[in-house]
Amino acid sequence: VTDSTVSRRRGDDLERAIFEAALEELAEVGYANLRMEAVAARAKAGKASLYKRWPDRAHLIRAAARHKATAVDTTFEPSGDVRADMAHVMRRITENQGGPGGEAMRGWVGELRAPAGEEDGEVEEIREAIEQPRIRVFAKILEAGIANGTVRPEALHPRIVNLAPSLLTQHFLMKGRPATEAVIGEILDEIVMPLITAHR
């Protein structure tokens, strides 16, 4: 089984290597300064191997971000302490924003451009992929709160469920860096908790 040479990668192996290279570049230089040639070089791949799989930088980065996101967000089991659970998940979101995932999102946002009237399936799909997992987790947390009477039932409205992540996103995009712990606290105490708390 002694593999002699540094054999040439193909298929999924290669794809993984490219993703990793892309994410590293993303973390180092940011989306705006990311060069396809740099990704190819870092992955020790030919440029053609990149363009064979994705038509442009945007698609590559989207795929790379999806690749990383998969199997990470996943599960979270609410404790019943709504504020603590939310804070915990929000912290995880900000951590992600600090890495290549955040940089990927920034790039995606920068190139976004939805024509006024039409629908753009791709944009919707990606936004859903970003938001849905968060919504699911926050909905679970809120349901637990409703179950133990600390959260009013109307709080399950989608816009409220998505409120905390939305504010984190807005903060990250406008400030260029993820929200700090203090900001998370303020968002929860001034906005989210007052809005969802059940008043006896």
Partner DNA sequence: ACTTAATCGAGACGGTACGTCACGTCTTTGC
Partner DNA sequence: GCAAAGACGTGACGTACCGTCTCGATTAAGT
Helix, strand, coil percentages, rounded to 5, for the chain: 70, 0, 30
Angle 2-3-9 (CA atoms, 0-180°, nearest 5)?
Answer: 160
Please say whether the beta carbons of 142 and 156 come within 8 A: yes
Print the binding letters for residues 80-119 with DNA: x by CB under 7 A, - otherwise. Answer: ----------------------------------------
Residue closer to DNA by CB (options 112, 147) is: 112
Contact with DNA (CB under 7 A): which of 1, 2, 32, 37? Answer: 37
* CA 114 to each of CA 69, 109, 119: distance values in angstroms, whole numbers, following the listed order: 24, 11, 8
Residue 167 tokens, joined: 């504010």
| Binding of DNA by 28 (CB under 7 A) | no
| Binding of DNA by 59 (CB under 7 A) | no
Contact with a copy of itself (CB under 8 A): which of 38, 45, 139, 195? Answer: 195
- Distance CA(20)–CA(89), nearest Å, equals 25
Q: Report 15-74 residues binding a copy of itself (CB under 8 A).
A: 30-32
Q: Report 171-190 residues binding a copy of itself (CB under 8 A).
A: 173-177, 186-187, 190
Which positions lie near DNA, rule CB under 7 A? Answer: 5, 7-11, 14, 34-37, 40-41, 43-49, 51-52, 55-57
